[in-house]
């Protein structure tokens, strides 16, 4: 009997292990099969995109030099000039669309930026309808955005296209209706023509997902362009779009604008329609997300807001405040009382970010405004409330979305964190506090129950009251501060640097309108200041220090400024942004521009042969091919700041043969390995000095007079 009991026990254990091994094997096989199907779906989508590009490239192909020159001139036009020419009928909607499609294709083919994920096939037919409807009868008033091509963040719904947010499982789920915002923009005459990349989950300051891959910084390819509207920022920076539509829940418009060197605006949430919008985590009533514009100048943002804040939006969405754009506030010249802070005391801002705030303070004071110091109250509490209000379910929505999906490396840490039980997160927070107090605060901030969430909502109401009371005591009209504590970092760093959110997400928590304006770039002195001044007090600060110190490659990265006003004061915020942009543009000296252009161009040497780049192809400019020479500025070629010759520069298709015919732009200003072409005719040098091409003007705009 004893032996029989032992045999029975062994038999039971054999059955148990057999069942366990079978279940484990089935799980592994099922997982492999599932991953195979997901990878197949990704490959199919990428192939469709490649086929779409090939078809569009064939449709736009031309050897007509006049047509090519026209396209180049169109994409160089400022928004105001482009809109004026479209309104007057000097340009057609189709011509402008073709120019920007051509430019977007060039970016896809000639750079590793990878910001475009889809071309909107219906764009050409819509542009033709606009031309047919409005250009045949000059008596019909054109809508305000007539013929303006707009790029759209991939997460914003367009009818007939899927909005995956980087989730492979969401592929091939086409939207039955466009988001209300897109429909209103089309009614205003805008032409959605391309969609841009986003990070998986939309909850990352990097920009990568398993479907479309990684979007890099437009000029520093080893760094991120920001997220989640990173594809928008990169495309606009590369002149692939004149106006873009992004969305912002924690800085997703302002941070990419700051990183990539463009402008972006987050409106007050109840002044912009949210109907049929797709959120990163639906159901967050206290963390106010909103769509907003991105562009190359503030004027484009103003025109976007003017076109939308009108009766059609108020009629279509009853949850939008029926307040039209108040032009009298935007155009007012009354002096303002403006608060400022260079660092929030939670995450130390880099010296370059503090320098921009300090310099802007001086410029605004010289313009007649009153600047007063301001410190936001209790930033650690605000960060804790941001986490609780953003991840209302403790991360369960993200867990469910990623359960049967491929997980991108940039969100893997977030995924692991959300899969960790809430109480264990709190315990881990206590464990890491001696090493990194900021990360510890984030780990301990997740709501553990519905009662905890209710208390968080109550605390948000109290915090908003506290903030507004401090604002009113200082008699502020507006506020300036850094958009982020850091400039563009490598993707893997941003995947771990979640505690940097305090500068941008604070104004989502408060639901204040806020915008980012491009002002300057990181200089050699800024890198040295990191070595001398930056407080490396924890692991997060150490990562920032390592990627911004001398020799880290941060020189030339854009640096922006954030402008903030009270809830509903969107026009005042845009007014301040426009004034900041104008004041910084005056720092660009005409003498400096002439030095830049004349430094490396000698018209007497135009007959010297030189290798140049023409639309991605390398050609030899011969002895007598005048009067027009096409040249390319390769951003790795040199530094006007130090005046070194071509022998000191890295290898490039343009170096070596005729340095005087090459236009060198500062590597410290614009970054690495990306090119933009322009035309230079011998008889037009003086005109070029007085009216430089838009891309050159935009590139040099952030520099101070002593930058060289």
* Ranges 1-15, 63-77, 107-121, 293-307: which has the least confidence: 1-15
Per-residue confidence band for 597, with pLDDT thresholds at 50, 70 and 90: very low
* Mean of per-residue pLDDT scores for the chain: 84
The pLDDT tens digits for 111-121 are: 889 999 999 99
| Chain centroid offset of residue 309 CA | 23
**Other Cβ atoms within 10 Å of 519 Cβ, number:** 28
CA distances in angstroms from 308 to 114, 120, 277, 504, listed in the order given? 30, 22, 16, 24
How far is 118 from 191, CA to CA, in rounded Å?
14
State yes or no: pLDDT of 607 exceeds 50.
Answer: no
Q: Which of 123-132, 204-213, 634-643 has the lowest mean pLDDT?
A: 634-643
Which pLDDT belongs to residue 289? 86
Residues 633 and 689 in one domain: yes
Of 561, 585, 609, the residue at which a domain comes to its end is 585
Could you tell me if 294 and 396 lie in one domain? no
Question: 649 and 529 share a domain?
Answer: no
Q: How confident is the model at residue 587 (pLDDT cuts 50, 70, 90)?
A: confident
Whether 390 is in a domain gets the answer yes
Give the bridge partners for 195, in sequence order: 118, 152
Q: Which of 93-107, 117-131, 206-220, 635-649 has the lowest mean pLDDT?
A: 635-649
- Calculate the alpha carbon distances from 469 to 472, 566, 573 in Å: 5, 12, 19
Whether 513 and 480 share a structural domain: yes
φ/ψ (deg, to 5) at 34? -65, -45
pLDDT beyond 80 at 648: no
pLDDT of residue 479: 99
Q: Can you tell me which residue has the tokens 């108040």?
A: 326
Which one from 142, 153, 306, 600 is the annotated catalytic residue?
Answer: 153
Q: How many domains does the chain have?
A: 3
Whether cis (ω within 30° of 0) applies to the bond prior to 627 is yes
Establish if 595 belongs to a structural domain.
Answer: yes
Query: Does some domain include residue 220?
Result: yes
- Among 585, 612, 634, identify where a domain stops: 585
Q: pLDDT digit string (tens) for 153-181?
A: 999 999 999 999 999 999 999 999 999 99
Same domain, 279 and 357: no
Closest by CA to 549, choosing from 525, 528, 521, is 528
Whether 589 has a pLDDT exceeding 90, the answer reads no
Is there a catalytic annotation at residue 266? no
Q: Does residue 543 sit within a domain? A: yes
CA distances from 358 to 342, 468, 521 (A): 7, 24, 14
Are the C-beta atoms of 431 and 484 separated by less than 8 Å? no
Candidate list 151, 163, 208, 228, residue with the active-site label: 228
Assigned domain for 10 exists = no
301 located within any domain: yes
| Tokens encoding 594 | 């002439």
Cα separation, 341 vs 371, whole angstroms: 10
Same structural domain, 675 and 658: yes
In a domain, 2, yes or no: no
Task: State percent of the chain over pLDDT 70.
Answer: 79
99 and 184: one domain?
yes
pLDDT in tens, 659-694: 333 333 333 333 322 233 333 333 333 344 444 444
For residues 535 and 622, membership in a common domain is answered with no
Find the CATH number of the domain harbouring 470. Answer: 3.90.1300.10
Is 228 an annotated catalytic residue?
Answer: yes
Q: Among residues 151, 155, 229, 252, which one is catalytic?
A: 252
For residue 191, pLDDT over 50 is answered with: yes
Query: Is 153 labeled as catalytic in the residue annotation?
Result: yes
pLDDT at 14 over 80: no
- Whether residues 63 and 191 share a domain: the answer is yes
pLDDT band at 533 (very low <50, low <70, confident <90, very high): very high
Q: Give the residue from 558, 585, 612 where a domain finishes.
A: 585
User: Do 64 and 165 have their domain in common?
Assistant: yes
Query: Mean of the pLDDT values across residues 336-361?
Result: 98
Q: Are residues 441 and 459 in the same domain?
A: yes
Q: Whole domain around residue 301: which residue ranges?
A: 43-318
Quick one: angle between helices 450-473 and 502-509, nearest 10? Answer: 100
In this structure, the answer to whether residues 260 and 385 fall within a common structural domain is no
């Amino acid at each position: 009997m004893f032996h029989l009991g032992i045999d029975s026990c062994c038999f039971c254990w054999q059955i148990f292990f057999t069942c366990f091994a079978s279940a484990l094997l089935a799980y592994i096989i099922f997982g492999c099969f599932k991953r195979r199907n997901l990878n197949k779906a990704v490959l199919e989508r990428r192939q469709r995109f490649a086929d779409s590009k090939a078809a569009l490239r064939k449709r736009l192909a031309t050897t007509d030099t006049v047509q090519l020159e026209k396209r180049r001139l169109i994409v160089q036009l400022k928004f105001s000039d482009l809109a004026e020419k479209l309104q007057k009928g000097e340009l057609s909607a189709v011509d402008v669309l073709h120019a920007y499609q051509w430019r977007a294709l060039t970016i896809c083919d000639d750079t590793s930026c990878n910001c475009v994920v889809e071309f909107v096939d219906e764009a050409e037919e819509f542009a033709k309808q606009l031309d047919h409807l409005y250009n045949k009868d000059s008596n019909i008033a054109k809508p305000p955005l007539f013929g303006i091509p707009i790029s759209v963040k991939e997460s914003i719904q367009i009818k007939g296209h899927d909005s995956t947010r980087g989730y492979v499982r969401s592929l091939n789920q086409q939207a039955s209706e466009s988001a209300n915002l897109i429909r209103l923009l089309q009614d205003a005459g805008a032409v959605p023509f391309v969609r841009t990349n986003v990070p998986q989950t939309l909850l990352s300051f990097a920009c990568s997902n398993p479907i479309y891959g990684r979007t890099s910084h437009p000029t520093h390819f080893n760094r991120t362009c920001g997220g989640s509207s990173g594809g928008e920022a990169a495309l606009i920076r590369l002149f692939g779009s004149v106006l873009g539509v992004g969305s912002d829940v924690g800085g997703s418009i302002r941070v990419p604008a700051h990183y990539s060197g463009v402008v972006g605006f987050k409106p007050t949430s109840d002044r912009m329609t949210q109907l049929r919008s797709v959120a990163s985590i639906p159901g967050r009533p206290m963390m106010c997300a909103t769509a907003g514009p991105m562009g190359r100048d503030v004027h484009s943002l103003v025109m976007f807001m003017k076109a939308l804040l009108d009766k059609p939006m108020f009629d279509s969405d009853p949850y939008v405040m029926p307040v039209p754009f108040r032009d009298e506030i935007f155009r007012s010249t009354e002096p303002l009382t403006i608060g400022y802070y260079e660092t929030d005391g939670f995450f130390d801002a880099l010296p370059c970010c503090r320098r921009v705030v300090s310099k802007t303070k001086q410029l605004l004071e010289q313009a007649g405004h009153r600047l007063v110091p301001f410190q936001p109250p209790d930033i650690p509490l605000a960060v804790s409330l941001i986490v609780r209000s953003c991840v209302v379910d403790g991360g369960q929505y993200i867990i469910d979305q990623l359960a049967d999906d491929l997980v991108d490396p940039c969100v893997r840490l977030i995924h692991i964190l959300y899969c960790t039980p809430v109480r264990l997160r709190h315990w881990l927070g206590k464990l890491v506090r001696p090493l990194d107090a900021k990360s510890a605060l984030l780990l301990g901030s997740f709501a553990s129950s519905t009662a905890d969430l209710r208390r968080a909502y109550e605390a948000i109401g109290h915090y908003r009251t506290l903030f507004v009371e401090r604002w009113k005591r200082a008699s502020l009209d507006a506020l300036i501060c850094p958009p982020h504590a850091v400039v563009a970092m490598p993707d893997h760093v941003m995947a771990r640097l979640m505690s940097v959110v305090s500068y941008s997400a604070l104004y989502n928590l408060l639901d204040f309108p806020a915008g980012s304006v491009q002002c300057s770039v990181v200089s050699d002195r800024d890198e040295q200041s990191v070595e001398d001044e930056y407080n490396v007090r924890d692991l997060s600060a150490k990562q920032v220090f390592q990627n911004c110190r001398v020799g880290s490659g941060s020189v030339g990265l854009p640096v922006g400024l954030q402008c903030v006003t009270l809830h509903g004061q969107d026009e005042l915020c845009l007014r301040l942004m426009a004034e900041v942009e104008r004041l910084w543009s005056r720092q660009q000296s005409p003498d400096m521009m002439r030095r830049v252009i004349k430094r490396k161009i000698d018209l007497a040497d135009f007959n010297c042969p030189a290798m140049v780049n023409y639309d991605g192809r390398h050609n030899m400019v011969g002895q007598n091919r005048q009067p027009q020479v096409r040249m390319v500025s390769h951003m790795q070629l040199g530094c006007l700041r130090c005046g070194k010759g071509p022998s000191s520069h890295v290898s490039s298709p343009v170096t070596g043969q005729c340095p005087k015919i090459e236009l060198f732009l500062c590597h410290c200003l614009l970054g690495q390995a990306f090119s933009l072409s322009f035309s230079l005719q011998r008889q037009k040098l003086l005109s070029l000095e007085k009216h430089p091409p838009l891309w050159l003007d935009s590139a040099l705009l952030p520099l101070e007079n002593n930058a060289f």
